[in-house]
């Protein structure tokens, strides 16, 4: 049996890839199907930051004694006023380090620039890109220190293919989740892990029609859009103005991060509802 435990936020929870019986499926379940005798425990929660992953998800993960674990987190950290790259890196290091010390192979990810996916103007996208670049630099250090299987989604050209993203432009759709699952399957295979068939990169369900996307925006999407406008946009304006006043630009090497313009595994959510953190301000479409 292969115990696969996933930690993180809504991306790992599977948002954007609806399960046939309701809820979310996501890349973790798709990847688990190719593991020998898989048992998947998805501990990811909406809105999780690195500190929440360390405090609430890590103890549950260690108790499960995973053979493989994943830690994909960071976007919610960048959207908070008290964001600190150093604190993020320290928390991520403690989480990944504990999992590696337990004997688990750990999957990590360099996250793509959400400002690019949102299609934000350069002045608003730049400070968000700077924060995401800082998160990725810290996660690079963690990956190198502990020897994780590190997927560079930030520089993977397929990441920014619009066909891989759901209508909210923040979460992968089924095609995008399948892309992540395939990338991690390939990384595990290259590292010598015994595996079954590679996930099919082709979606099993047809993409939503334009009519369905408009219907989503007219119902659930309206609340989500208003919340994004009220919570995020003013904060990005503040960051942009502060950056302009201080004369700061992208850090050295960040050019690749910010591009202006446009057999199934049983799944269980092991984190009690009382421990779930508040939903991320722009990530929850419902």
List, run by run, the mean pLDDT of 10-residue segments along the chain (286 residues): 96 89 91 97 95 98 98 90 92 98 98 74 73 96 98 93 78 93 98 95 72 51 46 60 60 37 33 33 34
The CA distance from 75 to 216, in Å, is: 23
pLDDT confidence of residue 252: 40
Cα separations in angstroms, 59 against 99, 173, 233 = 10, 30, 35
pLDDT confidence of residue 226: 42
pLDDT confidence of residue 170: 73
Cα separations in angstroms, 6 against 104, 106, 199, 209, 228 = 11, 9, 17, 31, 27
Tokens at 229, concatenated = 């406008």
The CATH number given to 2-275 is: 3.40.50.1110
pLDDT confidence of residue 261: 28
pLDDT confidence of residue 221: 41
pLDDT confidence of residue 114: 75
Measuring CA to CA, which residue among 22, 38, 69 is closest to residue 267? 38
Show me where the domains of the chain are located: 2-275
Tokens at 200, concatenated = 């099919």
pTM for the model: 0.77
The CA distance from 43 to 188, in Å, is: 21
Q: What share of the chain is helix, strand, coil (3-state, %, to 5)?
A: 50, 10, 40
Is the four-CA dihedral 89, 173, 130, 259 of positive or negative sign? positive
pLDDT confidence of residue 129: 85
């Amino acid at each position: 049996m292969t115990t696969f435990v996933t930690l993180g936020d809504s991306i790992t929870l599977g948002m954007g890839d609806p399960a046939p019986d309701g809820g979310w499926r996501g890349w973790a379940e798709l990847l688990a199907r190719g593991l020998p005798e898989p048992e998947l425990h998805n501990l990811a929660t909406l809105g999780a930051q690195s500190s929440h992953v360390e405090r609430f998800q890590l103890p549950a993960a260690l108790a499960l004694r995973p053979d493989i674990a994943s830690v994909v987190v960071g976007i919610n950290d960048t959207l908070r006023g008290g964001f600190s790259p150093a604190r993020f890196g320290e928390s991520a290091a403690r989480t990944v380090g504990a999992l590696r010390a337990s004997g688990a192979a750990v999957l990590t990810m360099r996250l793509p620039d959400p400002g690019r996916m949102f299609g934000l103007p350069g002045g608003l996208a730049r400070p968000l890109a700077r924060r995401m670049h800082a998160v990725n630099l810290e996660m690079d250090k963690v990956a190198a220190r502990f020897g994780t299987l590190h997927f560079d989604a930030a520089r993977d050209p397929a990441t920014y293919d619009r066909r891989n993203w759901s209508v909210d432009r923040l979460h992968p759709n089924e095609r995008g989740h399948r892309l992540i699952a395939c990338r991690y399957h390939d990384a595990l295979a290259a590292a010598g892990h015994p595996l079954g068939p590679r996930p099919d990169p082709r979606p099993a369900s047809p993409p939503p029609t334009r009519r369905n996307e408009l219907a989503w925006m007219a119902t659930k999407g309206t609340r989500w859009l208003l919340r994004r406008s009220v919570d995020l946009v003013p904060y990005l304006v503040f960051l942009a103005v502060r950056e302009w006043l201080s004369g700061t630009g992208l850090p050295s090497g960040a050019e690749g991060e910010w591009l202006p313009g446009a057999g199934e595994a049983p799944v269980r959510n092991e984190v009690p509802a009382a421990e779930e953190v508040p939903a991320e301000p722009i990530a929850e479409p419902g």
